[in-house]
Amino acid sequence: VYTECKKPGQFVLTFDDGPNVGTTEKALNVLKKNGIIGTFFINSANYVDLLNSPEARNLVKQAFDEGHDIGSHTYQHKDLFIAMDENSMELNVDKNNEVINSIIGHTPVFFRPPLGNGGFTKEYCTSLNIPYDSRTEQVRQYLGDRGMKVIMWNADTQDWNNKGNVQNSINELAKSVNAPGKSPQNSSFITLIHDVHEYSVDVILQQVIDYVKQQGYQIVSLSECIGEPPY
């Protein structure tokens, strides 16, 4: 389970819940304009039907062709604890990998669990004083057997909940990035944003990029951050 980079001073932008026609292409444009490589954690059946939407498939292919890392966020944006209970792990993990492979010719290694369930380790829960769920081990075993690496986050924009105010997202990010004792000399961050919301791609994304650079961090790809290949 990864929550930060191997080297201090690095910062990763990860995008969950896409693709979404009309917004994902805007996110790609912002990244291209800024010369930044991001990571897109893909659902097959969330905002689009990835199996049957050529437009959506083209967006995933475009992201891959432009050098971004493509990871999995499950087929249905399904909480993996629920997937375990209802026996839909094969659909949500294996089938999603097949769909992604059919588009980019590679099976993803990076996995972002919806709601984080399956990624909250004992150590993490202890550090935050929150209860640990023993199903986490089953989820990690299932993913590990498939060579998948769980990618969590240690900074959040809460962009889905910003109420149309970009400053809310910057303030949320600052809780981690500007926490006491944190600096590019000793810290690195993996943050979370969603490429499916208009306001996130139209306003928040560029502001986040500017803020991160102002704080002295270098924005890198997830594969560079954790030192692992994405496929």
For 38, the 3-state DSSP assignment is coil
Average pLDDT over residues 56-74: 99
Domain boundaries, the chain: 10-226
Sign of CA dihedral 87, 97, 62, 55: negative
Average pLDDT over residues 107-131: 94
* Tokens read off for 85: 């209970």
Average pLDDT over residues 186-194: 98
- Judged against a pLDDT cut of 90, whether residue 163 lies above it is answered with no
Q: Taking a C-beta distance cutoff of 8 angstroms, is the pair 42, 71 a contact?
A: yes
Q: What is the architecture of the domain spanning 10-226?
A: Alpha-Beta Barrel (3.20)
- Whose CA is closest to 166, among 140, 196, 198, 137? 198
* pLDDT given at position 139: 97
